[in-house]
């Protein structure tokens, strides 16, 4: 294997590509492709929420602003 997945965004991209390929080749039924897409969207939204909350924590850890 020449490439490694190093973060959640890359992992989701791989899942989306596989789901689209499988659906195009007839490996997944339309219903299976839809539920797979819904699962990917759910994970993507959850990832965004986690990233946003981590960003808020980082800002809080920085302390009060010194700007006047």
pTM, full prediction: 0.54
36 lies in a domain? yes
Residue-level pLDDT at 67: 47
Instruction: For the chain of 68 residues, list the mean pLDDT of each consecutive stretch of 10.
Output: 81 83 85 84 83 64 50
Task: Sort 44 into a burial class: Cβ within 10 Å, 0-12 / 13-18 / 19+.
Answer: middle
Q: How many domains does the chain fold into?
A: 1
Residue-level pLDDT at 68: 45
60 lies in a domain? no
If you write DSSP's letter for every residue of 6-32 in order, what string do you get? -SHHHHHHHHHHHHHHHHHTTSS-HHH
32 lies in a domain? yes
30 lies in a domain? yes
Q: Cα(33)–Cα(23) distance, rounded to whole angstroms?
A: 6
Residues in CB range of 11: below 8 A, 6 or more apart: 5
66 lies in a domain? no
Structural domain of residue 33, as residue ranges?
A: 1-50
59 lies in a domain? no
């Amino acid at each position: 294997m020449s490439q490694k997945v190093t973060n959640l965004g890359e992992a989701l991209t791989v899942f989306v590509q596989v789901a689209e390929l499988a659906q195009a080749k007839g490996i997944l039924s339309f219903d299976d492709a839809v539920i797979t897409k819904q699962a990917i969207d759910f994970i993507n939204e959850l990832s965004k929420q986690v990233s946003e909350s981590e960003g808020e924590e980082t800002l809080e850890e920085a302390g009060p602003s010194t700007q006047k």
